[in-house]
Amino acid sequence: MAESNDSQNDSPRWQDYEKAARDIYEAILRREGSNAEVRHNVNVQGRSGVAHQVDVYWKFRQAGLEHAVIIDCKDFARPISLEKVRNWFGVKSDVPNAHAVLVTREGYQSGAADFARSYGISLKLLRHPTEEDWEGRIRDLDFIIEGKLIDPDSVQIEMAFDFKAFDLTNQSDIDRARRIYELLQSETLVRTRLADACLENSAGEILNNERI
């Protein structure tokens, strides 16, 4: 959570920052096959009986034990101090089986980073990429598309669908997969002639050969 006494330029939209971190971790978990509920702004009671405010939180079971992930988001305009990391270590120590993460956009002071590594606190950066971040990575892709006019009656299209690509924990994906399966059963989608197919633009307008 943003704290005005730590930096002169803390973002006034710190809740959006926290929710962005929640959404990113939720997407990572879904990709890995977990259906854990990732929650924002949770009060978690520690062994001491003290309730701790946690920006992003979820639980999981491993080897018969319940674990918790606690994430503190610092949308600060300068590197995080050792004091902030030590404070989060105190929360980590009080919450049973907790894996602690600190997320910020301007990095960590050297002492803070050393302390975090020594006590198992994971440090993450969440910010817009800089020019240095793009070094060694693909940034732009250029495509050359060559179109050829063919006899539409001479081509037949066969379609296959990989239902494993659907997220079966998402009701919207389940509904789409069910509709496609029903169409496949009726053989509506199995075969079609190219002459019967059409292309649409982003506005949903059908494009004919003259407009492609």
* Cβ atoms of 94 and 124 closer than 8 Å: no
pLDDT classification of 45: cutoffs 50, 70, 90 = very high
In whole angstroms, how large is the CA radius of gyration of the chain? 25
What per-residue confidence (pLDDT) applies to 129? 86
pLDDT classification of 98: cutoffs 50, 70, 90 = very high
What per-residue confidence (pLDDT) applies to 38? 95
pLDDT classification of 2: cutoffs 50, 70, 90 = very low
Cα separation values, 139 from 130, 134, 142, 155, Å: 12, 7, 10, 37
What per-residue confidence (pLDDT) applies to 202? 61
Query: Helix (H, G, I), strand (E, B), or coil: what is residue 184?
Result: helix
pLDDT classification of 207: cutoffs 50, 70, 90 = low
pTM for the full predicted model = 0.61
pLDDT digits (tens, 9 = 90+) for 117-133: 999 999 999 998 888 88
What per-residue confidence (pLDDT) applies to 148? 65
Mean pLDDT, range 85-112, rounded to an integer: 95
What per-residue confidence (pLDDT) applies to 55? 96
Mean pLDDT, range 190-208, rounded to an integer: 60
> How is domain 14-128 classified at the architecture level of CATH?
3-Layer(aba) Sandwich (3.40)
Q: Provide the b/e sequence for 43-57 (b: ≥16 CB within 10 Å).
A: ebebeeeeebebbbb
What per-residue confidence (pLDDT) applies to 7? 44
Closest CA to 31 of 163, 167, 171: 167
Domain coordinates in residue numbering, the chain:
14-128, 152-207
What per-residue confidence (pLDDT) applies to 90? 96
193 vs 20 pLDDT, higher one: 20
Contacts (Cβ under 8 Å, ≥6 apart) of 38: 22, 25, 26, 29, 56, 57, 58
Q: Would you state the structure tokens that stand for residue 93, as one six-digit string?
A: 């120590």
Closest CA to 161 of 200, 196, 138, 188: 188
Specify the range with the lowest mean pLDDT, choosing from 32-36, 89-93, 94-98.
32-36
